[in-house]
Amino acid sequence: MLPPKEELKKWKEAGKEAARLLSYARKIVKSGMPLLELIEKIEEKAKHRFAFPTNLSVDSIAAHYSPCYKDRNVAKGLLKIDLGINIDGFISDTACSVDLTEEKKHEELIKASEKALKEAIKIIKPGIKLCEIGKTIEDTIRSFGFLPIKNLTGHEIRRWKLHGSLKIPNYDDGSNFKLEEGMIIAVEPFATYGEGLVVNDEPSCIYRQLTFNYPIRDKKARKLLEFIEKNYKGLPFSSRWLVNCFGNSILVPLSLLEKSQILYRYPLLVEKTKAAVSQTEHTVLVTKNGCVILTKES
Between CA 203 and CA 208 the distance in angstroms is 13
**Catalytic entry in 82, 99, 114, 132:** 82
Euclidean distance between the first and final Cα of the chain, in Å?
A: 24
Q: Are 94 and 282 in contact (CB under 8 A)?
A: yes
**Catalytic entry in 64, 106, 163, 282:** 163
**Catalytic entry in 106, 155, 271, 282:** 155
Q: Which helix (H) or strand (E) holds 278?
A: strand 277-279
**Catalytic entry in 43, 138, 281, 282:** 281
CB-based contacts of 26: which residues, under 8 Å, 6+ apart? Answer: 81, 96, 98
Tell me the β-bridge partners of 253.
Answer: none
Q: Is 155 a catalytic residue?
A: yes
CB-based contacts of 82: which residues, under 8 Å, 6+ apart? Answer: 54, 55, 57, 63, 93, 94, 95, 279, 281
Nearest to 188 by CA among 81, 289, 60, 90: 81
Between CA 187 and CA 94 the distance in angstroms is 9
Q: Is 281 a catalytic residue?
A: yes
**Catalytic entry in 17, 99, 114, 188:** 188
CB-based contacts of 156: which residues, under 8 Å, 6+ apart? Answer: 163, 164, 165, 166, 167, 168, 183, 184, 185, 186
**Catalytic entry in 17, 43, 93, 114:** 93
Phi, psi angle pair for 243, to nearest 5°: -65, -40
Nearest to 188 by CA among 121, 139, 236: 121
Q: Are 207 and 234 in contact (CB under 8 A)?
A: no
Cα–Cα distances in Å, from 280 out to 8, 81, 103, 209, 233? 24, 9, 21, 27, 27
Phi, psi angle pair for 83, to nearest 5°: -145, 165
Active site residues: 82, 93, 155, 163, 188, 281
